Chains A and B, each alone.
Chain A
Amino acid sequence: MSRTARTLTPAGRDAGLRRLRVLNRVLVGAAVAGTGLLTDVAAQAFPGHKRVVHPPLAAPPSSSHAAVPPHRRHAGGRHHPHAAHRALKAPAQPPATAATSTQQATTQAPQATNPAPQVTNQAPQAIVAQPTPAPAPTVSGGS
């Protein structure tokens, strides 16, 4: 009976509440600090998941590279070729069927047949009239 009365005194109750309040504050502060600490550790342990924006080329190697699209993510590592930006640049002219060596040589012929204004000067015409053999083509293949 006397023990119950002692624990229920207003002074004892207030002291207990103060201790609980302090304890709660400590626990809340520790939780906040712990959460921040764990977040930082996780961020350091697993880099590479943040979104990074690569700026355009400072000195683009060609005009097409000036249009570097913003950095993008691709879901799940699967290829999404049709979702890619159209940034590769087509040539000014498409490739053409090449004239054969003979054709290339004969294209020089009309120049040789053109009458020169000064008939006495034949030397330059003689140089052009010689059908220079067309050089072998440069080879493009796998390397």
Chain B
Amino acid sequence: MAAVEARLTELRTETWTALGTTAVLRYTGSDDPAIRAAVDRELEAIDGAASRFRVDSELSRLNAAGPARVVVSPLLLEAVRLGIYAAEVTGGAVDPTLGHSLVSAGYDRDWRELTAVPADAPLGLGDRIVVRRTRTGLWQSIELWDDPPGVRIPRGVSLDLGATAKALAADRAARAANAVGGSGVLVALGGDIATCGAAPAGGWLIRVTDDHRAGPEAPGQTISIASGGLATSSIVTRRWLHRGWPMHHILDPRHGGPVQTPWRTVSVAAASCADANIAATAGIVLGRDAPDWLAEQALPSRLVQLDGTVRTQAGWPS
């Protein structure tokens, strides 16, 4: 019995690059290449369906089609539906229709190909000067069909599902990996974490910090989760220079430019990685309203102010 327990707490870890970010797979039990293969299949599928940077992706074709009904795969339909759901539950704070704003902010390729700027570079007001403004609430006009799966986006709208598609991929990959052999699985994509199945003894250890590329010794907090998902959004990562102005990737739907917020990092635990991702992004965008909104959702949260002051709530350990 003791030997069995010892074997169950063994953890396999694999790390590689996928979807333009770092992918981490952890699972309990013995080595099984089929688990990694299941994860790879999910990530390749979501990349082909929802990547904004691949001209051959379904999303690129949908954005190019204009206000016409386009038949899509069930996976892209699921991703678009999740984007609309994110907008609905956050009152539009997480908006899937900001593709044009991101492009006009210079985010028209993998961010690693952009001119990086230090995390502490001030945003100033230039972010709003050079960024294309969009009408708000256009996500309400996206039309969906189930059979056959179809999407029609309003005229002048370009979808960007980056905020939620990555989390969706993590959730799907964790479920697919768990289905292979029943192992407890953790999948992390750029710091967005999904779990499925039984956690190892002591839970899944997570180091919450500003940048997912940082090591486990980076300033932050180590916690453990037994199930569900955990996501972190931050404005100190993924920054670039565009027309002389520092930019970051979390946009304010009200003006289309990088959001001005009192939080540099927001982490949220939820029942799924998708829900955690939506709440963490909304926490950044909602600014001073974020603590009340997150508490209303009863989501354990950790908010870090620009000066480093940490605030935890709704069950997040202090």
Contact = CB atoms under 8 A, between A and B. Distances in A.
B155 A138 contact: no
Interface residues of A, number: 65
A4 to B, nearest CB: 64
Contact of A93 (B3, B135, B172, B227): B227
Contacts, number: 282
Interface residues of B, number: 109
A98 B91 contact: no
Contacts of B135: 77
B13 A140 contact: no
B88 A95 contact: no
Interface stretch (A21-29, A35-43, A53-61): A53-61
Nearest to A71: B140
Nearest to B67: A47
A69 B315 contact: no
Contacts of B286: 79, 81
Nearest to B172: A61
Contacts of A78: 254
A114 B1 CA distance: 12
B205 A139 contact: no
B25 to A, nearest CB: 10
Contacts of B218: 139, 141
A142 B210 contact: yes
A107 B202 CA distance: 9
A71 B67 CA distance: 19
A48 B141 contact: yes
B216 A124 contact: no
A142 B143 CA distance: 31
Contact of B297 (A74, A88, A140): A88
A87 B89 contact: yes
Given A52-B143, A90-B299, A111-B2, A62 B91 contact: no
Interface of B is mostly: mixed
B110 interface: no
A101 B67 CA distance: 55
A61 B277 CA distance: 14
Nearest to B15: A138
Nearest to A97: B317
Interface string B198-216: 0001111111111111111
Given A88-B89, A98-B205, A64 B296 contact: no
A104 to B, nearest CB: 5
Interface in B134-157: 135-138, 140-144, 146, 154-155
B303 to A, nearest CB: 13
Nearest to B292: A82
A140 B188 contact: yes
A73 to B, nearest CB: 6
B120 to A, nearest CB: 14
A33 B227 CA distance: 62
A89 B14 CA distance: 29
A90 B270 contact: yes
A95 B206 contact: yes
Contact of A138 (B24, B81, B89): B24
B285 to A, nearest CB: 8
B205 A141 contact: no
23 contacts: A64-B271, A64-B272, A68-B81, A74-B137, A79-B254, A80-B91, A81-B292, A84-B91, A88-B278, A89-B270, A95-B225, A98-B203, A98-B223, A104-B201, A111-B2, A114-B2, A136-B207, A138-B193, A139-B206, A139-B216, A141-B220, A142-B210, A143-B166
